[in-house]
Amino acid sequence: MLLLDEHWITRAALRGALANAVDLEIMAEATDCDEAIARLCTGGLTADVLVFTGATDPANLCYRLADELPQWPVRLLMIGGEVFPDSLGRRYSAMGWGWLPQSAAEKHFIAAARLIAAGHCIAPGPSTAGNGRFTNLVAQLTARELDVLRLLAEGCTNAEISARLQLGESTVKSHVQNLLNKLGARNRVSAAIYAYEIGLVHLERQTGQRTSQGEDPCHLVSG
């Protein structure tokens, strides 16, 4: 990962948030677009995701990257500022990009970084909750299945979900299988991506808090 922000204290905060994510390695840091591109141009730097804040213009950054590094797979995670522009999102959807509000929890930042590194797109909130197909699918889930989906999206294992929701592990397995079938998801990772694409946390607020609150965060897993 390459961290881009003009303020050292912001880069330190991002670095600190990633400290416990052993699978996410910070390869370098930069203070502006010129420095970031210069670092990416060096043969020894292989960053999969460029993390930048709202202080950087995403359009300018994307155009500079496309012009000067056409061979680099553009995978961008923007923290804060305005929502990632729709036109850029459509252009780079095949590569992987994401936007999170500055108020996003650390667990969501780490989960988003992992998903984007894998080539997925993440934009939780009102801009994605309007996707009718996904919203209709989620409407088929029970309140308990939404509980399980939210924890699954945070990376919880069946055992962890069982402990958080005080359910038997076999019951959790049943809920997971039911929600996978309803969503048409191939596996847990696909279901987690659905949860992020529809902005599940925002959707819960819109539908009267259908899921329970206050469970501890879990790490993201790919199994």
pLDDT digits (tens, 9 = 90+) for 95-110: 678 888 887 778 778 8
pLDDT, tens digit, 9 for 90 and up, residues 56-67: 888 888 888 888
Q: Which residue has the higher pLDDT, 205 or 98?
A: 98
Mean pLDDT of the chain: 76
* Residue type at 168 in one-letter notation: G
Of 24-38, 91-105, 150-164, 192-206, the least confident? 192-206
Q: Which residue has the higher pLDDT, 19 or 45?
A: 19
Rounded to whole angstroms, the Cα distance separating 194 from 65 reads 29
55, containing H or E segment: none
Are residues 79 and 14 in contact, defined by beta-carbon separation less than 8 angstroms? yes
Sign of CA dihedral 203, 209, 212, 217: positive
Residue-range domains of the chain with CATH:
2-123 (3.40.50.2300), 128-206 (3.40.50.2300)
The pLDDT of residue 220 is 36
